Structure 1
Amino acid sequence: MKPDAVERNLIGSILVEYERNGLKISEMKLMKASTTIAEQHYAGHTGKPFFDRLVAYLTRSPLVPLVLEGENAINRVRTLNGTTDPEDSPDNTIRALYGLSLSENTVHASDSTESSERERAIWFG
């Protein structure tokens, strides 16, 4: 869960959505991301015009990295989260319900097993 979700006290509401949909939380913590961690997380966007804004957003206040498990978890989480832009996200997805904008869209989800493994190592060692 990204900083805007934590700032707006949405941790519990978002966790309920994941658990209600049969996903299990296997790791979770509240933390403030360092610039190094944020840069590693968004390494695929290095050099893009919005990279510095992404890093600044991720490091501005605490966030909640978590690992969700369950059958077909990556696709299920991505469906529950909705599309990147909350305005275009299907009704009742987490981003449609809680996202503020394209840049403050409340949650992140890995897009593949490889990304999930890389991101888990960044956030949980």
Structure 2
Amino acid sequence: MTEHTQPERSLVLVKPDGYQRGLTGEVLRRIEAKGYTLVALAVTDARPDQLADHYAEHEGKPFYEPLVEFMSSGRLAAAVIEGHGCIPGFRALAGATDPTAALPGTIRGDLGRDWGGSVQQNIVHGSDSTESAAREIDIWFPDLG
């Protein structure tokens, strides 16, 4: 007998740099082409409380303030995706955090670059674990809980 597990969910953010450059559709196209399902989607301005909660583990680090400033610099697209293995799958699709080092074929490798700013502008965020995904989805989509 085959064991069926529930598909997992992940939060994906198209950060202000990606949204401003008109890359939201391309990011969503790649997610859907990979076979993941969009469960929720919103275009929004990040609220200070959302960013404080989202980046709580980084508070006090030197990059925290520039990161929060960047993430509040413009609109972003927030999505919840679903599918078996979607957390590691999306992170592989996104590519290395540093767009200069990200491999061709990944979102960051194909679409990102170093802009010389004080914080890495790398187009997307994806949850890194099921625990992070649950916490982050609750921050950005509290009605899904």
What TM-score, normalized to structure 2? 0.83
Higher relative contact order (CA 8 A, sep 6+): 2
Match status 1:55 vs 2:62: no
Look up the SS of the partner of 1:49 in the other structure.
coil
- The runs of at least 4 consecutive aligned structure 1 residues that moved more than 3 Å come to none
- Aligned sequence identity (%): 39
Which one has the bigger helix percentage? Answer: 1
| 1:27 counterpart residue number | 40
Computing the radius of gyration from Cα coordinates, the structure with the larger value is 2
Alignment of 1:75-94 (within 5 A): 75-94=88-107
Match status 1:14 vs 2:27: yes
| Number of positions where the alignment pairs a residue of Structure 1 with one of Structure 2 | 125
Over the residues paired in the alignment, what is the CA RMSD in angstroms? 1.0
Residue-by-residue CA offset, 1:55-76 (whole Å, 9 max, x unaligned): 0011110001101111101010
Residue-by-residue CA offset, 1:61-92 (whole Å, 9 max, x unaligned): 00011011111010100000001001111111
Question: Structure 1: which amino acid aligns with 2:77?
Answer: V
Question: Structure 1: which amino acid aligns with 2:128?
Answer: D
Deviation of residue 113 (structure 1)? 0.1
Deviation of residue 100 (structure 1)? 3.0
5+ residue gaps, structure 1, are none
5+ residue gaps, structure 2, are 1-13
